[in-house]
Chains A and B, each alone.
Chain A
């Protein structure tokens, strides 16, 4: 079984551009989560989606950031008009469900660098 796939692994953008990060969950997983990690820090939750629905976006900035998980295709985290402070590693995780013994499985992240 393929794990959670994220692409690109590295993304460089100039201030003001848009960044699109893609995440394909593990086969059969319909729950997707996005996290952000700054250097030397733990991951911070951003958003939780379940096929076509945003369930919890309490960790996502109100402006410039959006996420979707369409019926077909990968989940997309979109950052508009990027700023230097958006530079970070963005991790996606997926799970089969949200109950016990259904842990979140993570991809290897997209490292976003803003020039």
Chain B
């Protein structure tokens, strides 16, 4: 599975847009990019998945450039409840064996 690199932590304020970039230089042709969110004492929650260009759902947007060596998760107008750890994963489709890195701790301040 392709290794991912993402910032350890990010601070933001309520109402701002948060963008988390993940690097995956060795992404393979069949690999998809998936993002999960995890709150303390809870399991990871699926946010979004994409292969190329842009994907948007009711929670977030995922931007993937043409070379697919990186991706950016965009959280519009964050609230305090968006404080969590966000994981970027790369693998075949949903993947039988998800490999979680250290994730990005996002702290949303009032």
**Residues of chain A having any CB pair with chain B under 8 Å:** 4, 33, 35, 41-45, 48, 55-56, 58-59, 91, 93, 95, 97-109, 111
Contact = CB atoms under 8 A, between A and B. Distances in A.
A93 B41 CA distance: 15
Contact of B43 (A44, A45, A109): A109
A42 B100 contact: yes
A108 B96 contact: no
B80 to A, nearest CB: 21
Nearest to A3: B43
Interface of B: 32, 34, 41-46, 49, 51, 87, 93-103
A4 B46 CA distance: 13
B43 A106 contact: yes
Nearest to A58: B97
Contact of A100 (B32, B44, B98, B100): B32
Nearest to B105: A40
Given A93-B43, A104-B46, A98 B94 contact: yes
A106 B34 CA distance: 14
Contact of A99 (B46, B87, B93, B103): B93
Given A45-B97, A48-B96, A109-B42, 18 more contacts: A4-B43, A33-B96, A33-B98, A41-B102, A42-B87, A42-B100, A43-B44, A43-B100, A56-B97, A58-B97, A98-B93, A98-B95, A100-B32, A100-B93, A102-B94, A103-B49, A106-B43, A108-B43
Give the residue among B32, B45, B95, B97 with the most A Cβ atoms within 10 A.
Answer: B97
A32 B42 CA distance: 18
Contact of B45 (A44, A97, A106): A106
What 3 A-B pairs have minimum CB-CB distances, sorted nearest first? A106-B43, A42-B100, A100-B93
A56 B98 CA distance: 12
B59 to A, nearest CB: 13
